[in-house]
Amino acid sequence: MPSRVVDVVLMEGFAGFMSLLSVALIVFSGFALFDAAIRREDGFRAADKKTKPFWMIILGIAFVVSLIFPILSFLPIIGLIASIVYMVDVRPALRSLPGGGRSRGGGSSSDGPYGPYNGGR
């Protein structure tokens, strides 16, 4: 009889661990998606890391898959790999750009680092 109790406790512990791991995966892929959304589109081209729509689609799919499928299937693992690639390769390249690659509200496309460029006038 005691071995059944131990088995039940272990299974409940494993289920709890897997649910925490699933929540962590959802948060991680959601953060990667949010981070890609706030980066400037031209920063992706400048860093030579595909395009912003490409990463938004990949990370969006990874986020949705992590919400729908259990962690033990292979689709969330593929989404996790895509999120890790973004976080360790693309994000540092974008952050190394001037301004961190973040979108600036209200600026013109001709703005330089010290204000608008007016062609030497």
Q: Which of 6-10, 12-16, 85-89 has the highest mean pLDDT?
A: 85-89
Structural domain containing residue 36:
2-98
Residue 59: inside a domain, yes or no? yes
The mean of the pLDDT values for the chain is 84
Residue 105: inside a domain, yes or no? no
Residue 103: inside a domain, yes or no? no
Q: What is the pLDDT of residues 12-57, one digit of tens each?
A: 888 888 889 999 999 999 999 999 999 999 889 888 889 999 999 9
Number of domains in the chain: 1
Residue 114: inside a domain, yes or no? no
Residue 117: inside a domain, yes or no? no
C-beta separation of 52 from 37 below 8 A: no
In 3-state terms, what secondary structure has residue 70? coil
Residue 121: inside a domain, yes or no? no
Residue 71: inside a domain, yes or no? yes
Rounded to whole angstroms, the Cα distance separating 33 from 45 reads 18
Q: Can you say how many angstroms the Cα of residue 7 is from the centroid of all Cα atoms in its chain?
A: 37
Residue 10: inside a domain, yes or no? yes
